Amino acid sequence: MARWQPGTRGRLQDAALELFASRGYEQTTAAEIARSVGLTERTFFRHFSDKREVLFGGQERLTEAFVRGIEAAPDDATPMEAVGDALDVATGLFPDDMRPHSRLRQTVIDQHPALQERERHKMSGVATTIGDALRARGVGEPAATLAAESASTVFGIAFSQWIQDGESRSLGDISRAVLAELRDLTGADRAPR
Amino acid sequence: MARWQPGTRGRLQDAALELFASRGYEQTTAAEIARSVGLTERTFFRHFSDKREVLFGGQERLTEAFVRGIEAAPDDATPMEAVGDALDVATGLFPDDMRPHSRLRQTVIDQHPALQERERHKMSGVATTIGDALRARGVGEPAATLAAESASTVFGIAFSQWIQDGESRSLGDISRAVLAELRDLTGADRAPR
């Protein structure tokens, strides 16, 4: 599997993920993670504040990618067009060779309610920041929050699909398909009743 | 303020909320809540499993209301029409005389990250159940999840607005306005770029 990140941090992440998946998250200590790749606990803590951060340290990059996408959208882009651009930037952080990693990470998270809670918290923070970036473009309420929550929902659905066994489309392609589906779903004229 | 619920349960809820808001959630015990309305701790625990349940005990009713709304939607309703009907049923649980209660409850929750986390968890569970109800109608993926998450988002935004100081519209009216905004936002044709 390709590394999440290069260098020592990447080695520690790889090792942690393998141990979390094989032995269990609770049962794995920072010292064991470090030792399994010939490093010391001290080195581990130079790179991560705790073992949970191995799983969630990517949040900042993800948030930044969304914000970058929103900020780079053309001035005349609608809120949802800006969200589409942001999804393209954010999904670009996950090339196909990261899929096995992301799948393994999800397996670990799915086994622990506390980690699932942390994941929800993370995505809620991402949505809040996207909303801020949209408001900074002059998007009002509730449009900014609706568009930001939609971005987070589309990303979450696309990501879950991307790591399914047998799925071969890129995360970006899935994300664009889910966004199009959202447009069809919510944009349909209300039939006369 | 009107009671959340009639009888002893309602009295305990009212008393708990007042104490949480005035003294702090952490500092208030079940025994104190009971004592403040002349009841025993034992009585408290006949109605609630713990003091957190005073704040979150309504989740089941909310979920049921959404499901009832989805199930009662006409067979030919689109997923978002069913969601609109479900929002009407769910928002009907919150008549205007409950607004001061809901506002006070939110104040308590906003002060405690653990309660905010619990609230997110709750809304995530509501969205999952709405998705199940849509799938039971034959709605496929990702439409069911998108529609369910949109229902939860619209409800959340509408609810936040409903408890703002000075807001006088009903929760149902706000919810319908937010849903319409979502339709406008996501349904707009993508401008040629």
pLDDT in tens, A69-92: 999 999 999 999 999 999 999 999
Distance CA B26, CA B5 (A): 24
The domains located in chain A, with CATH, are 1-51 (1.10.10.60), 58-186 (1.10.357.10)
Instruction: Tell me the per-residue pLDDT of B15-69, one tens digit each, with 9 for 90 and over.
Output: 999 999 999 999 999 999 999 999 999 999 999 999 999 998 888 899 999 999 9
Selecting from B74, B154, B186 the residue whose C-beta is nearest the C-beta of A193 gives B74
Query: In B, which residues are within 8 Å of A78 by CB distance?
Result: 185, 188, 190-191
Query: Helix, strand or coil for residue A44?
Result: helix
CA dist A82 and A70 (Å) reads 5
For the record, the structure tokens of A22 come out as 């094989």
ω before B6 within 30° of 0 (cis)? no
- Count helices and strands (H / E) in chain A: 10, 0
Q: Indicate yes or no: CB of A79 within 8 angstroms of CB of B185.
A: yes
Convert the pLDDT of each residue in A94-122 to its tens digit. 999 999 989 999 999 999 988 998 888 88
Residue B7 has a pLDDT of: 85
Q: How far apart are CA B89 and CA B94, in angstroms?
A: 10
Shortest Cα distance, chain B CAs vs residue A35, angstroms: 34
**Best residue of B124, B135, B153, B183 to probe chain A, by most A CBs closer than 10 Å:** B153
CA pair distance B71, B85, nearest whole angstrom: 9
Measured CA distances, B33 to B7, B115, B119, B167, B185 (Å): 15, 18, 22, 30, 46
Q: A191 and B146 in contact by Cβ < 8 A?
A: no
Per CB-CB distance under 8 Å, the chain A contacts of B155 are: none
**Chain A residues close to B150, C-beta within 8 Å:** 150, 153, 182, 185-186
A146 to chain B: closest CA residue: B182
- Are the beta carbons of B80 and A188 separated by less than 8 Å? yes
Q: Does residue B75 sit at the A interface (CB-CB below 8 Å)?
A: no
Provide the H-helix boundaries in B37-142: 41-47, 51-56, 59-72, 79-91, 99-110, 113-136
> A85, exposed or middle or buried, with CB in 10 Å at 0-12, 13-18, 19+?
buried
Q: Do residues A178 and B147 touch, judged by C-beta distance below 8 A?
A: no
The three-point CA angle B168-B173-B179 to 5° equals 130
Hey, is the C-beta of A173 within 8 angstroms of any chain B C-beta? Answer: no
Closest CA to A16 of A149, A162, A115, A134: A115
Contacts (Cβ under 8 Å, ≥6 apart) of B123: B152, B155, B156
Contact A153 B146 (CB under 8 A): yes
> Chain A contact for B80, CB < 8 A?
yes
In this predicted model, what pLDDT tens digit does every residue of B146-191 receive, in sequence order?
999 999 999 999 999 999 999 999 999 999 999 999 999 987 544 4
Q: CB–CB of A190/B79 below 8 Å?
A: no
Please indicate if any CB of chain B lies within 8 Å of the CB of A117.
yes
Query: Which are the contacts of A95, defined by CB distance < 8 A and separation ≥ 6?
Result: A2, A170
* Whether complex ipTM tops 0.85: no
- Residue A164 sits at the chain B interface (C-beta within 8 Å): no
